Amino acid sequence: MEMSTKSLLKEVDEYLLPLPSYPPFIVKGQGMEVEDQEGNVYLDFMSGPGVLNTGNCHPEITKAVQEQVGKLTQCPGNTHNIESINLARKLAEITPGDLQKTFFCNSGAEAVEGAVKVAKKYASCKGKPGTGMVALEHSFHGRLSLSLSLTGMSGRKKGLGNFIHPASHHIMAPYCYRCALKYPACDLYCAQSLEDFFLSHLPADCVAAVIMEPLMGVAGAIVPPDGYHKRIREICDKHEILLIFDEVFAGFGRTGKMFASEHFGVVPDIMTMAKSLGAGFPLGGVITSPKVGSVIEVGDNYTTYGWNNVVGLTAGLKNIEVIEKENLVKNAKTMGDYFLDKLKESVEICPFLGEARGLGLFLGVEVVKDKKSRTPDPDMAKKIKSGLMGKGHLVGVTGNYSCVMRITPPLILTKDHIDRFIRDWNTTLESVK
């Protein structure tokens, strides 16, 4: 079969339901590099869909997976396996505070739905009269029914009918760059608006949990201001509401800490994980404190490919071991600081870049019509992305306004990769003017 981009695109049309995917067609990957079917090589500054913190096809992970596939792929229903215990024990060790008990599933959206289920059960067991959920505007939590209803991006719900779950609510996001109020004079109005929500929309005793990403990823690498997480935690504690941190995208070293929440000194009651948890193999997880997890009974949570997914679980354990052995959390911090400084230098001189921000190797750059109006410029963002692709760098465009360049490379990134990227970034900015 001919492998030209044109013929492959024809087959995409013929056999796949529409996806937000575009050429190149990637056929190989190793470390930071991927290769398309025509032999063009790119540096992957997205880590696949944000999952390859240890890079593509890491040799140790590949070996562990190959051995596991040759040994056991699934256990008979309702029997136990060792792989789930090994990974769960490791997760208890590396997650903050008293998070200890894990439920495994297949994806980020499933992890979110599993976390919400725990929170709702906990609220019911505590005798709360309601089990509503509060999420943030601009947030992303997945595309299943409940996780989509919690997602604060209406573009993802367009044409899908009424995707507003009656128990899912939203409060304003800590999106300082696009906020009319200025920090710190605002006194964290966005966090405080949770109290207003209880007054205007749903009494606090009818809320089971607040769910938020400690760093808002798909929204455009939005880092909440100092004190935000603590204020949310205080309000939740005051009203006996659980706090869920969705670490699906930000976890496993991406932000320069093993989990993003560690930057803010706040421990959630429940945490969700996926993406890099499985190092490219489908795997999600919900981890809770023993106290919160104690409400879950046999049968509350079960999925065919969860705890039984021994291949994914093996990849997950080896992935964490590699992150630790290769000091990738520290590398994400060092390289991320260097990268962000370079991006900030470009924002200083480029009239259509508004802000560079992020933590570790979770970076975003706002593309705007001009610095004063801050009007989003999605067309320019698209041009930058394709200009970079032409120079061999793959980046994303994200956010509710589709105007934030998303730069989330594998944590194995080197200074040389960054210097090459910045050289081409600067010439791309010149050429798209």
Ligand X SMILES: Cc1ncc(COP(=O)(O)O)c(C=O)c1O
Q: Which spans of this chain sit near ligand X (rule: CB under 6 A)?
A: 107-109, 112, 140-142, 213, 217-218, 246, 248-249, 274
Q: How far apart are CA 400 and CA 315, in angstroms?
A: 33
CB of 30 to ligand X, least distance (A): 23
- Cβ distance to ligand X smaller for residue 137 or 246: 246
Q: Of 94, 107, 101, 111, whose CA–CA distance to 252 is shortest?
A: 94
Query: Considering beta carbons, is residue 260 or 388 the nearer one to ligand X?
Result: 260
Say which residues have a Cβ less than 8 Å from residue 230's Cβ, sequence separation at least 6.
264, 265, 266
Q: Which of 432, 414, 433 is nearest to 32 (CA)?
A: 414
3-state secondary structure of 371: coil
Judged by beta carbon, residue 363 or residue 380, the one nearer ligand X is 363
The residue among 242 and 273 lying less far from ligand X, judged by its C-beta, is 273
Pairwise CA distance, residues 96 & 56, whole Å:
27
143, β-bridge pairs = none
Q: Which lies closer to ligand X via its Cβ, residue 271 or residue 429? A: 271
Nearer to ligand X, 406 or 417 (CB): 406
List, in sequence order, the alpha helices (H) in 126-188. Answer: 145-150
Q: Sheet harboring 353-359: ordered strands across?
A: 353-359, 362-367, 404-407, 396-398
Closest distance to ligand X from the beta carbon of 200 (Å): 27
Beta carbon of residue 147, minimum distance to ligand X (angstroms, whole number): 6
Per-residue tokens: 205: 């005793």
Q: What is the DSSP letter of 120?
A: H
Q: Minimal distance in Å, beta carbon 96 to ligand X?
A: 17
Q: Are 170 and 132 in contact (CB under 8 A)?
A: no
Distance of closest approach, residue 251 Cβ to ligand X, in angstroms: 9
Distance of closest approach, residue 28 Cβ to ligand X, in angstroms? 23
Pick between residue 55 and residue 251 the one whose CB is nearest to ligand X. Answer: 251
* Structure tokens, 65: 């997976």
CB of 112 to ligand X, least distance (A): 5
**Cβ distance to ligand X smaller for residue 218 or 407:** 218
Nearest to 47 by CA among 230, 265, 249: 249
Q: Who contacts 204 (Cβ-Cβ below 8 Å, separation ≥6)?
A: 198, 239, 240, 241
Q: Please report how close the Cβ of residue 408 comes to ligand X at its closest, in angstroms.
A: 10
The answer to whether residues 322 and 54 touch, using CB atoms and an 8 Å cutoff, is: yes
Nearest to ligand X by Cβ — which residue?
108
Q: Which of 317, 394, 323, 404 is nearest to 358 (CA)?
A: 404
